[in-house]
Structure 1
Amino acid sequence: MPQFRESLPQLTGRPFLTEGGIGTTLLFHENVDLPHFAHFPLLLNEEGRATLARFFEPYLELAKRYRVGMILDTPTWRANPDWGAKLGYDAVALAKVNRMAVSFLDALRRRHAQLDLPLVLNGVIGPRGDGYAVETAMTAEEAAAYHHPQIEVFRDSGADMVSALTLTFVEEAIGIAIAARDSKMPVAISFTLGTDGRLPSGQPLGTAIEETDAVTGAYPAYFMINCAHPLHFEAVLAEGAGWLSRIRGIRANASTKSHAELDVASDLDSGDPHDLGRRYATLRGQLPNLTVLGGCCGTDHRHIAAICEACL
């Protein structure tokens, strides 16, 4: 059963953590094979579920240490029809694994339940195409129809909310927000940005947020930025604008490299955790409603610990 669907606690101003980069951690630190960078197949066997549980443990410990909440993300960023087909999953199999993801995190939440430690169960939606480029352009209507089945599974499985991560163009964001609204599910929309602080489509971040809000009646609970280093978007945020108040989450990359450089890199660039933490502290001064603090590619529990140290 959902615990926070009617009232998301991260909207009250209390800090919340997310995990770091699950894919890069599993691939480079745990030597787990991830075809097409998909994490959800790990749910299908006991060893994989144990690996996922170990991954979440240090982040839960940080949340307990700093007395903050945590958003638990399902490992379903690739669990949509296009990526699922590449891995041999049809619609029935995808629905099953998305339900399994919610059940897995629900069990994890119950094991770590504390009265003063809210744990939000979040169904993660990934882009239809690549997370770094506009590969599969859709209209908002097409995107809504495409992502609606996964959102419905999360709703019916008891997730508190859904989040769409690493979106590259605004039409997909609008479609996901519309599908979530139709399913009566709270949704967070997260864009990725290039080194110029713009979406891979070329659209400025502010206009993408404003357009999404205008078309959907400001339905998203909040917006986030993920899979980009703060160095790439600090100047955009420094301009100051009303849309900055809609950003509640940052999940930055560890590396200052561009998406193109990361795509061809054979080694993991973990960057400087303490510098990243200091940059998050600066971002908290630029973003009046920033409450969700986490990481993306290249980050692990060391980066989230440094962010906690600098910000909390």
Structure 2
Amino acid sequence: RAMDLLHDIRAETEGPLSPVLISGQLGPRGDGYQPANVMSATEARAYHSAQITSLAEAGADMITALTINYSAEAIGIVYAAGDAGRPCVISFTVETDGALPSGQPLGEAIAEIDGLTGAAPAYYMINCAHPTHFEAALARGEDWPRRIGGVRANASKMSHAELDEAEELDEGNPAEFGEDHRRLRALLPELKVMGGCCGTDHRHVEAICMACA
């Protein structure tokens, strides 16, 4: 029914100059903040295959995997999406040092996946982390940030561990959040998708639009 709703919305809003893609979204098998019960790429391919196949059969144009925290699961998702005949996007979450929760640097994870899959992901994203957590990693003059096409950041500057213990939602500073994205645009030449993750609302999205217009 959810996919039917999206198809109805597309029929009402799509135009010759404004195509609408429907993305079937999925998350990690376990806790997005902690890579426990780590799977091999083969195991991840088998695990995610049923959901990806269902999304493809329901009419999803592409598959987006969010809050992935180690590379083997991402590789399995890429293969499963290919099995279903759909392009995919891999979105990693990172810690305050810009590395995956597994400890692997983000650039190394992207290089590993591209190397093993023939650069199959349409692009990569970063989500569920504040821009200041990964800005420095993007600013080292390396080539891999060109593979980042989207960011859905947290409002809070807290670490994942701190967010897990927090009793109140930290909405951060929307105006500052917008300026953070303005700086990210200068570091990410292929950035096309921007939005919010934990703690964000319409104020944060509006601030992004105002800062990046």
Deviations 1:126-172 (A, max 9, x none): 00001111122000000000001111111111111110000010000
Q: Please state whether the residue corresponding to 1:130 is helix, strand or coil.
A: coil
Q: Aligned partners of 2:37 and 2:19: how far apart in 1?
A: 37
Q: Please state whether the residue corresponding to 1:248 is helix, strand or coil.
A: strand
1:130 match: 31
1:259 match: 160
Q: Please state whether the residue corresponding to 1:120 is helix, strand or coil.
A: coil
The percent identity for this pair of structures is 55
Q: Aligned partners of 1:156 and 1:237: how far apart in 2?
A: 37
Q: How does 1:277-296 map to 2 (within 5 A)?
A: 277-296=178-197
Q: Please state whether the residue corresponding to 1:123 is helix, strand or coil.
A: strand
1:112 match: 13
Q: How does 1:157-168 map to 2 (within 5 A)?
A: 157-168=58-69
1:309 match: 210
Q: Aligned partners of 1:232 and 1:213: how far apart in 2?
A: 23
Q: CA RMSD in A?
A: 1.1
Q: How does 1:262-277 map to 2 (within 5 A)?
A: 262-277=163-178
Q: Which runs of 5+ in 2 are unaligned?
A: none
| 1:141 maps to 2:141 | no
Q: Which runs of 5+ in 1 are unaligned?
A: 1-99
| 1:206 maps to 2:89 | no
Deviating runs (4+, > 4 A) in structure 1? none
Higher relative contact order structure (alpha carbons within 8 Å, sequence separation ≥ 6): 1
Q: Aligned partners of 2:174 and 2:105: how far apart in 1?
A: 28
| 1:249 maps to 2:150 | yes
Deviations 1:75-96 (A, max 9, x none): xxxxxxxxxxxxxxxxxxxxxx
Q: CA deviation at 1:184?
A: 1.3
Q: CA deviation at 1:304?
A: 0.8
Q: CA deviation at 1:113?
A: 3.4
Q: Aligned partners of 2:163 and 2:12: how far apart in 1?
A: 36
Q: TM-score, normalised by structure 1?
A: 0.67
Q: How many aligned residue pairs are there?
A: 213
Q: TM-score, normalised by structure 2?
A: 0.97
Q: How does 1:27-42 map to 2 (within 5 A)?
A: none
More helix by share: 1
